[in-house]
Amino acid sequence: MEKLIVKGGTRLEGTVPVSGCKNAVLPIAVAAAILSDSVSVLHNVPNLTDVATLRAVLEELGATTKLKDTMLYIEPVNHIAYEAPYDLVRKMRASIYVLGPLVAKLGRAKVSFPGGCAIGPRPIDLHIQGLESLGAQVQVEKGYIFAQAERLVGTEMYLMGQHGPSVGATANVMMAATLAEGTTVIRGAAREPHISDLAQFLNAMGANIEGIGTSVLTIHGVKQLRGTEHNVISDDIEAGTFMVAAAITNGDVYVEGITPQQLPAVSEKLVEAGVELDWDDKGVRVTTPRQLKAVDVNTVPFPGFPTDMQAQMMGLLCLASGTSVITENVHTDRFIHAAELNRMGADLMLDGRKVVINGVSHLSGAPVMASDLRAGAVLVAAGMAAAGETVVSRVYHIDRGYEAIEKKLNSIGADIIRVNDDGEDL
Ligand code: UD1
């Protein structure tokens, strides 16, 4: 297994480009491969292991995919298979995105039931409830979800769970509804920028979705969707991670390829903490001229503060003066990184779904372990700010969602090397 050795005490300076959004490209590629009748070409596709895993799922179903640099070519097949097996789905929960499109296109689907993960139980009841509302019969047996329907039929539904809207269920049901008979109204829909990007892609394929970017999506079913060309939106979370990395190293970094509309709450909280953000039409310059201040953060669905930035913000607040409280309302068990940050000298106390952060003057390098992809990112960021060397293991989590993280950070002044278990440079 590979590790990252992060030399601390570096200051980031320069321009770093943001790649395409992982959470947009996954459902978009599914729609292109299953719902469409002809070839699609996606641009600005990040080279991530999650994208490779999804391509394996789509190829297992019978599609042909080719990735060249940042361009992903997807050719659907007429005789697509309807089963997504355990061995593939267990590698990536987002494989559940094939469920709705398969039922809509083929009238049946057999998809392995995704398990829990390091950030909590992550149920899929809303995905199932939404498809049942469209008339699918859904059963769970022997670890698989079986869904079938002669043709899905549009309806009105409220798709909200106890923690608010669901990104995954909104995407799954919206994709299915594009080919349903009649009109579907999804109330309580997720509003994340990647959901809007998916909806825009579906409309370019010939779907008829109204209310994009709002919590009420109206989807008028069509008979057929065709392939199209699409530029995937940039990754808000990668951009936010670079903004935190700039701030935690007292750097001066231009994060290129992001708009303030994609990251409203993160921008607001960084400014509240004392980080200076200077936006223009291509990106944002991040500088941190003074001591950071403590702030309280509540994670909530978009446009609130994203759970996927919680770990990185926690790392930053470790070095702010005063006491901050982070409350995690989306993935309520998502705190494994807190214990790793404490190993680096942070003063964090876990209390249910809250973490109390007493700011410290410095962190010190230590061997630490990435437990999920964002937890991995904060350890790299904290490692850059810490005194001495931090060795981050289980880097495969980071590679799921960050393209060439050490190359991008080294290009703006970090000192990070990737080694294998034998300590050889890679
Ligand atoms: C997506 C993102 C993930 C992000 C999350 C929240 C992808 C591939 N992943 O995950 O990075 O952290 O959105 O922004 O896009 N819930 C239910 N029942 C369901 C589905 C969800 O109760 O059927 C709950 C979840 O447990 C969680 C909340 O709803 O508490 C939000 O989850 P959801 O938005 O569905 O997250 P994902 O789509 O899995």
* Residue pLDDT, tens place only, 217-237: 999 999 999 999 999 999 999
Nearest CA to ligand 1 atom 27: 330
For 22-220, CATH gives 3.65.10.10
DSSP 8-class letter at 33: I
Chain length of the chain: 426
| 91 vs 353, higher pLDDT | 353
Burial class (CB in 10 A: 0-12, 13-18, 19+), 423: exposed
Q: Give the other-Cβ count within 10 Å of 28's Cβ.
A: 30
> What pLDDT was estimated at residue 139?
95
> What pLDDT was estimated at residue 290?
75
Mean pLDDT for 146-167 is 95
* Main-chain phi, psi angles of 295, to 5 degrees: -140, 155
The verdict on whether omega for the bond into residue 303 sits within 30 degrees of 0, i.e. cis, is yes
> What pLDDT was estimated at residue 229?
98
Mutate to test the pocket of ligand 1, among 26, 159, 166, 402 (most ligand atoms within 8 A of CB): 166
Cα(122) to ligand 1 centroid in Å equals: 7
Catalytic residues: 117
Common-topology check for domains 3-19+234-419 and 22-220: yes
Residue 179: pLDDT above 70?
A: yes
Q: Is the CB of 101 under 6 A from ligand 1?
A: no
Q: Tokens for 316?
A: 């930053």
Cα(103) to ligand 1 centroid in Å equals: 21
**Residue with tokens 């590698």, as numbered in its chain:** 91
Mean pLDDT for 256-274 is 97
Cα(415) to ligand 1 centroid in Å equals: 34
Whether the CA torsion 316, 373, 339, 120 is positive or negative: it is positive
Residue 387: pLDDT above 80?
A: yes
Q: Is the CB of 125 under 6 A from ligand 1?
A: yes
Residue 365: pLDDT above 80?
A: yes
Q: Tokens for 68?
A: 């060249």
Instruction: List the domain boundaries for the chain.
Output: 3-19+234-419, 22-220
In this prediction, residue 128 has a pLDDT band, given cuts at 50, 70 and 90, of very high
Residue 426: pLDDT above 70?
A: no
For 108-117, write each residue's pLDDT tens digit.
Answer: 999 998 866 6
Query: Could you tell me the CA-to-CA distances from 262 to 113, 306, 328, 375 in Å, in that order?
Result: 31, 11, 20, 21
Mean pLDDT for 74-78 is 85
Nearest CA to ligand 1 atom 5: 167
Write down the pTM of the prediction. Answer: 0.96
Cα(92) to ligand 1 centroid in Å equals: 13
| 81 vs 215, higher pLDDT | 215
Nearest CA to ligand 1 atom 25: 122
**Average pLDDT, whole number, for the chain?**
95
Nearest to 154 by CA among 205, 201, 217, 226: 217
Cα–Cα distance, 414 to 400 (Å, whole number): 21
For 19-66, write each residue's pLDDT tens digit.
Answer: 999 999 999 999 999 999 999 999 999 999 999 999 999 999 999 999
**The domain made up of 3-19+234-419 is a member of CATH 3.40.50.410:** no
Please give the share of the chain, as a percent, with pLDDT higher than 70. Answer: 97
> What pLDDT was estimated at residue 173?
98
β-strands 416-419, 389-393 pairing: unpaired
* Main-chain phi, psi angles of 384, to 5 degrees: -70, -30
Mean pLDDT for 304-322 is 98
* Main-chain phi, psi angles of 291, to 5 degrees: -60, 135
